[in-house]
Amino acid sequence: MRVIQLNLNHCRAAQDLLAQTVRECGSDLAILSEPYKACDTRHWASDSTGKASLWACGSDPPKLCNIKAGNGYVRAKVGNLWTYSCYLAPSLLLDSFNRIIEEIVDDARSRTNVLIAGDYNAWAQEWGCQSTNARGRSLLEAFASLDLALLNEGTQQTFSRASGGSIIDLTFSSPSLSREARWQMANVYTGSDHEAILCTIGERLRPSRTYCRSKAYIEDTLDTRAIARCLESWHDTLDASANEAANLLATRMEEACDSSMRQRKPFTRHHEPIAWWTPEIARLRTMCMKARRAMQRARRTARLDSALEEYGSARKALKKAIRSSKRECFLKLCDSADKDPGAGPTSSWRRSSVQGARRQLNPTRSRP
From the number of C-beta atoms within 10 Å of its C-beta (0-12, 13-18, 19+), residue 230 rates as middle
pTM of the full structure: 0.73
- Mean pLDDT, range 19-47, rounded to an integer: 90
Instruction: Note the pLDDT of residue 368.
Output: 39
pLDDT exceeds 60 at position 367: no
User: In terms of pLDDT, which residue wins out, 9 or 359?
Assistant: 9
Separation of alpha carbons 259 and 113, rounded Å: 51
d(CA 242, CA 231): 19
Q: Choose the most confident range, by mean pLDDT, from 139-153, 195-209, 263-277.
A: 139-153
Give me the chain's average pLDDT, please: 83
What pLDDT band is residue 214 in, cutting at 50, 70 and 90?
low
Strands 52-56 and 29-33, sheet pairing: antiparallel
Residue 242 has pLDDT above 90, yes or no: no
Please check the confidence at residue 364 and state whether its pLDDT lies above 50.
no
Let me know: does 23 contact 272? Beta carbons within 8 Å: yes
How confident is residue 119, by pLDDT bands cut at 50, 70 and 90?
A: very high
Q: Say if residue 34's pLDDT is above 50.
A: yes
Task: For the chain, give the number of residues.
Answer: 368
Distance CA 251, CA 245 (A): 10
Integer angstrom CA distances of residue 12 from 38, 74, 286:
11, 21, 18
Q: Please give the Cα distance from 193 to 208 (Å, whole number).
A: 36
Query: In b/e form, how buried is each residue of 64-83, taking b as 16+ CB within 10 angstroms?
Result: beeeebbebbbbbbbbebbb
Q: Is the model more confident about 266 or about 156?
A: 156
- Higher pLDDT residue, 229 or 35? 35
Rounded to whole angstroms, how far apart are CA atoms 30 and 58? 10
